[in-house]
Each structure stands twice: as structure tokens, then as C-alpha cells.
Chains A and B, each alone.
Chain A
Amino acid sequence: MKTAKFEKCPRCGSSELQNIFYVESGEPPRVYVRCAKCGAFVARYTLSRYTSDQPYESLLRMLRRCSLTDSRRSVAEIEAFTRGIEEKFKEALRMAEEGGEKRRIEEIIDESED
């Protein structure tokens, strides 16, 4: 299954949102999403991985606590990581703009797990 949608404010329906990046030591980093129009709380994300607009440098940070063994797979994964992000971003954007996805986000996550 592949799907994408713009996240919207549950109170006013706006898709102008603000991300608040929050870190507390000992906890995984969190992102709190707030509606830029009416200020309502929209969602909270818990991060397992972060990639900036400089994917190679994000990758280097990730690999600093790593010891890889499978080199053929590493080459493929590193290539996919650095080149794949931009492509996936475009694909997700296109799908969101088409607006075919009507389900709520928790439903999508729930149904994608099986």
C-alpha cells in the first residue's frame, strides 16, 4: 500500500501547520505540530530517524554508532538513502496533491501495519 495526504488541523481544517522540535535527554526526540491559524494541537510525532536536506550528512551521523558487515547491501542502502529521499518526497507530494486519501492518519497507520 502507498498513500499520502496533507495533514490538517482537526479544529479549523487549515493545513498551515508549525512543527515544534522538542528534545529531552533520555527520551527520543519529539515533534509537536500546532495549527498556525488557530493554535490548536494537531499531533505529536516520536522520531526514530531524522534526515535533513543534506541526506549524506544525516547518514554520516547515523552511521557513527554503527558497524556494518554486508558491503553489497550497504552500497545499495547508502545509494537509496542519499538519492531516494528527494524522489520519495516528490512522489509523496504528488499523491497528497491528488487528495485521494480521505482516511484519518491513525486509520492509515493502523491499516498499513498488516
Chain B
Amino acid sequence: MKLERASLFRALWTFLSFFFLWISIRYAPGDMSGAQKTCLGIFVLAAFLWVTEAIPLFVTSFLILALQSVLLAPHIDGNYRVFLAPFFSSTILLFLGGFVLARGLARYHLDERMAFYLLDKVGDSPGRILLGMMAVTAFLSMWMSNTATTALMIAVAYPLVRQLEPGDPFAKAIILGIPFSANVGGIGTPIGTPPNAIALSALKEVGINLSFLRWMVLTVPLELFVLLVIYWVLMLFFRPRTGKVKLSLEKMPPPERREIFVSGVLALTVLLWLTTGLHGVPSSVISVFPVLALFGTGLLRREDFNSLGWDVLFVIGGGLSLGVGVHRSGLDGWLLTSLGFERLGFYPLLLIFAFLAALLTNFMSNTSTAALLVPIVLAIGKNPLILSLGIALSASASMLLPISTPPNAIAYGSGLIKVKDMARAGGVITFIFVIAVSTIGYFYWKLLGF
């Protein structure tokens, strides 16, 4: 019965989104060109479908592709291929490499091994254990999906949480600390989380090619700062009652030859990514290396390939494709002018869009948030790096609700936290996160010459 109502709503939302498409095209302001009107319609439809999740996000991507090819392409030079290209762009290939890396880590339990190795050293005070858990989560999430990292680390933390006295708030600190750290950890590498892909691609469009290493230099200091903020807020809100806890870590057998080989391949991949400046091979092309080395040797199988998270890649592709439409149609410029953003100074614009991103990302997917905002703000033509980084990073500030992002949903599924717990701590953290991005980030990036 409940299920039927859900699908009824989904049908209604889908119908409404097409209605909005029609309204936008039909009744858009007269000063807009045909291309701008059409693109506005597709933009509104996509935004509505992304918020309601009436159809799966990757299906929306295909809808964007179809609508842009059929409705928008005739307005701009009839070439629909520009909307198709983002689906296998260099950014997508880079992410594919990241997925293979993550699959290698998970398949051979290297992620677990790393987690146990690092956590072995944290001692037994609750504060140090929380900080250790958060640091390991954030580190893994730089290379693996936020979802997988959260699932792994909650499983690692679960025995500890169960040995706490019932009602000890420290359980909530741990269960919230893990998804929050996974969300923030994603900002630390280009492949850490999909919004980064939107920023990277958008920057490439305006001629800025950020290397893997440069991205990390720009974002890791912020990541560390926000992690400390999360730690501080959680310890403040959920002060542990016990003075000592024991982390019971599984004993893992010594690594087999295959595991050592896979670790070698993955370490080499990361090394090659970090040294593109020395060898000159683009990071996206380096992504092919782990594919060849792991699938070619049979260390990863066809099943691993088939379940690589293709839907995520298509979600990114759809976002990028919409960005192309927004830019080609000139909708970006029109939105900036008619909403009055053009008259704002650079800094207020950054602040507004960073907060807008943080607000939206708690109600729609991080990728969609970045996909909607980054193309618009880039039309301002001033300092694209700071603007797109500012928005992409703020799009990872999904700390408010279980529906904000899948890691939060996983933590909520434990039944150990209430929505109120997440909203209280997450609200404070989101606020400081965005302020940090738009102040510390702003000055730090300026300092580095951007």
C-alpha cells in the first residue's frame, strides 16, 4: 500500500517535470532566445527530477541527453554530438580508473587491512578513537566511494559501539563521524567524489587543466580543517561517558602474493596520477593502466567490471552534458544577468553560491547540485577556479539529513541516531564548512596565485 503511493507520487513528479519543461519554453521571458528558453526548460525539468528522485538519477541523465539532442540541438547548430561527448570524456575515464582502484582495494580487502593497520595505533581514549576513525574514513574516501567507505568503517566500528553502555552519546559521535568524514574526505582528490568531476570538466572548458597533485594541494588543507571541526562539534554534542574503550580489530592473515601484486598496481597508479607533471601522460589515460593490469591478469573479473558503478558515471555524464547545453545556449549568461548576479562583487557571489550549493546538496545529490550551479557561475568570467572549487566543495557539505547523501542514509540505517542528532551536529558543521571554503579556501587559493 505504502509502495503504491510512492510510485503514484513518482508518476506525478515526472508528469509535473514535463509540465515545467513546457511552461518554461512557452512562457519564458521575451528577451530570451529560443535556445535559452529550451535550455531553461530542460534545466528546470532536470532540477525537479533530481530533487524528487522521481526517476533514478542516471535515467534523468539519459532524459537530459535525449531532450537536448532533440529540442536544443536544432537551436544551436544541429550538432547533438556535443551533448553526447561528456558521457565518455577524460573526466569520466579518470573516474573509471578510480572505480577500478576502489574495486581492487575492496576485492582484496586492502581497504580493511589499511583501516586495521592505522587504527591499531590510536590507543583507547574515546577522543583518539573518534579522531582515528574519522581520519581513516576520510583518507579511504579520497580513493573509494563515500558509500563504500562508510559501509566499511561502520562495520569496523560496530563492535566498539555495541560494547558501550546503552545510552552513551559516544555511539552517536562515532556513527555520525564516519559518514561526515566520508563526505568531507571526497574533496581531497579529483576522484574522491563526483562533484569534483563537474568542477574539473568545467575548468577544462575554460582552459584550466588542474593536475591530480594540484587538486590535492588546493583541497587537502581544507579537508583537514573541516575534519577537525567535525571532531570538535561531535565531541561537544556527544560527550563520551566512558573514559576508555577498546577497539576490537580483526586479526588478518599475512598478505598473499596476489594481494601484494594488487597493492603494487594500485600504488603505482596513484604515483602516476600524482606525477603527471613529470611524465606528461594525462591522468585520464593513466586510468587505463589499472584496468589493463587488474582485468588483464584476471585479478579482477568480468563481474567486477560489470558492477563498477556505471550509474554514477552516467549521472556525472548527464550533469556534464547539461552544463554543455547551459553554456552553448547562453542560458548561463542570461541567468546571471536577469537574476542580478552580474552586479554583485566577486566575493558576495562566491559566498551566495557556496551557501546555495550547501543548501541544495542536502536536498538533492551532490553531483546534481554541482551540475546545476557550476556552469552558471562560470559565465561570470572572473576567477573560474575559485568559483568552481568553492561550489564543488560546498556540494560535499551534505551533513543535515539522512536523505542528504547515501553515507548519511547508511549511518541512519543503524538505528543508533535520530534525524534530530544528525541535523543538530550536521547543521553546525555544514555552516562552518561553507564558511571555511569561502574564507580560508578563498585566501589560500588566492595565495597560491589563482
Q: Which B residues touch A65, using CB under 8 A?
A: 103, 106-107, 148, 307
Given contacts A69-B311, A69-B312, A69-B315, are A82 and B151 in contact (CB under 8 A)? no
Alpha-carbon distance A63/B194, docked complex (angstroms)? 18
How would residues 41 to 82 of chain A score, 1 for a CB under 8 Å from any chain B CB and 0 otherwise?
000000000000000110111111111111111111011011
A82 touches B409 (CB 8 A): no
Interface size of A as a range: 20 to 34
Which of B102, B398, B403 makes the CB contact (< 8 A) with A75? B403
Which of B214-222, B281-289, B412-420 interfaces with chain A?
B412-420
B151 touches A66 (CB 8 A): yes
Which A62-114 residues have a C-beta within 8 angstroms of B? 62-76, 78-79, 81-82
Q: Which B residues touch A81, using CB under 8 A?
A: 413
Alpha-carbon distance A32/B402, docked complex (angstroms)? 40
Alpha-carbon distance A67/B6, docked complex (angstroms)? 24
Alpha-carbon distance A56/B145, docked complex (angstroms)? 19
Given contacts A56-B415, A75-B409, are A66 and B404 in contact (CB under 8 A)? no
How would residues 130 to 161 of chain B score, 1 for a CB under 8 Å from any chain A CB and 0 otherwise?
00000000000000011110111011001000
Which of B147, B408, B412, B414 makes the CB contact (< 8 A) with A66? B147
A69 touches B367 (CB 8 A): yes
Q: Output the least CB separation between A54 and chain B (Å).
A: 9
Which of B53-61, B330-338, B386-394, B434-442 interfaces with chain A?
B53-61
Which of B103, B309, B398, B403 makes the CB contact (< 8 A) with A72? B403
A57 touches B158 (CB 8 A): yes
Given contacts A63-B410, A78-B410, are A69 and B148 in contact (CB under 8 A)? no
Interface of B is mostly: helix
Given contacts A64-B148, A67-B99, A73-B56, are A57 and B406 in contact (CB under 8 A)? no
Q: Output the least CB separation between B253 and chain A (Å).
A: 15
A75 touches B412 (CB 8 A): yes
Q: Output the least CB separation between A81 and chain B (Å).
A: 8
B148 touches A66 (CB 8 A): yes
How many of chain B's residues have a CB under 8 angstroms from any CB in A?
44
Least CB separation from A73: chain B residue: B53
B404 touches A78 (CB 8 A): no
A68 touches B413 (CB 8 A): no
B68 at the interface (CB under 8 A from A): no
B57 touches A67 (CB 8 A): no
B415 touches A63 (CB 8 A): no
Q: Output the least CB separation between B1 and chain A (Å).
A: 13
Of the candidates A57, A60, A61, A64, the one having the most CB atoms from chain B within 10 angstroms of its own CB is A64
Least CB separation from B362: chain A residue: A71
How would residues 303 to 317 of chain B score, 1 for a CB under 8 Å from any chain A CB and 0 otherwise?
000010101100100
Alpha-carbon distance A29/B414, docked complex (angstroms)? 27
A74 touches B409 (CB 8 A): yes
How would residues 349 to 372 of chain B score, 1 for a CB under 8 Å from any chain A CB and 0 otherwise?
000000000000000010100000
Least CB separation from A76: chain B residue: B6
Q: Which A residues touch B154, using CB under 8 A?
A: 60
Which B370-386 residues have a C-beta within 8 angstroms of A? none
Which A residues have a C-beta under 8 Å from some C-beta of B? 26, 56-57, 59-76, 78-79, 81-82
Contacts A/B (CB < 8 Å), 29 sampled:
A26-B301, A59-B151, A59-B413, A60-B151, A60-B158, A60-B410, A62-B151, A64-B106, A64-B151, A64-B152, A65-B148, A65-B307, A66-B148, A67-B102, A67-B146, A68-B406, A69-B57, A69-B58, A69-B315, A69-B365, A69-B367, A70-B365, A71-B53, A71-B404, A71-B405, A72-B52, A73-B56, A75-B403, A78-B409
A64-B152, A67-B146 are known; give 18 further A-B pairs, CB within 8 A: A56-B414, A57-B158, A60-B151, A61-B151, A61-B155, A64-B155, A66-B151, A67-B147, A67-B309, A69-B194, A70-B57, A71-B398, A71-B406, A73-B53, A74-B409, A79-B413, A81-B413, A82-B415
Q: Which 5 A-B pairs have the closest CB atoms?
A: A67-B145, A63-B151, A68-B406, A78-B413, A67-B309
